[in-house]
């Protein structure tokens, strides 16, 4: 069966520090991968999605970037964090031929 992992689970970082969040999927190949951010108001904002290795689509201009170095690995990064980057970051995947999206457990990021 397929599983999706995210780490770390929680992170506290100072303003101006770099960020790297990792997401990996097991049990499937060539998934579409997504990064969402959920701010305090509970709504979900799509940040990036990827349909293959090295292919990244950005939804909104921001302080973050994403990379997909391997088929089942999706990384969210920042060179310098802002206070407004705080939130709950969720990774998700969709298998080929499906619209059902499956989410990881999330990373809670607090920028101080």
Please state, in angstroms and as integers, the Cα–Cα distance from residue 20 to each residue in 58, 78, 109, following that order: 17, 7, 11
- 107: which 2 tokens? 């990373």
For residue 97, the minimal CB distance to other proteins (Å) is 9
Of the ranges 12-20, 39-47, 61-69, 73-81, which one interacts with other proteins (CB under 8 A)?
A: 39-47
Listed residue (109, 101, 93) closest to 27, CA to CA: 93
- 44: which 2 tokens? 């979900």
State which of residues 46, 58, 62, 71 lies at the interface with other proteins (CB under 8 A). Answer: 46
By CB under 8 A, the residues from 75 to 94 that bind other proteins are 90, 92, 94
| Rg, the chain, Cα only | 13
Cβ atoms 49, 31 nearer than 8 A: no
By CB under 8 A, the residues from 1 to 30 that bind other proteins are none
For residue 46, the minimal CB distance to other proteins (Å) is 6
Residues that bind other proteins (CB under 8 A): 32, 34, 36, 41-44, 46, 49, 51-52, 57, 90, 92, 94, 98-106, 108
């Amino acid at each position: 069966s397929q599983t999706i992992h995210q780490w770390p689970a929680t992170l506290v970082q100072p303003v101006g520090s770099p960020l790297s969040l990792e997401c990996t999927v097991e049990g499937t190949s060539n998934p579409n991968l997504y990064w969402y951010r959920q701010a305090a108001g509970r709504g979900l904002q799509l940040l990036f999605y990827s349909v293959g290795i090295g292919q990244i689509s950005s939804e909104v201009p921001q302080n973050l970037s994403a990379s997909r170095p391997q088929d089942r690995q999706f990384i969210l990064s920042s060179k310098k964090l802002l206070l407004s980057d705080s939130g709950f970051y969720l990774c998700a995947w969709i298998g080929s031929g499906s619209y059902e999206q499956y989410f990881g457990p999330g990373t809670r990021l607090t920028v101080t």
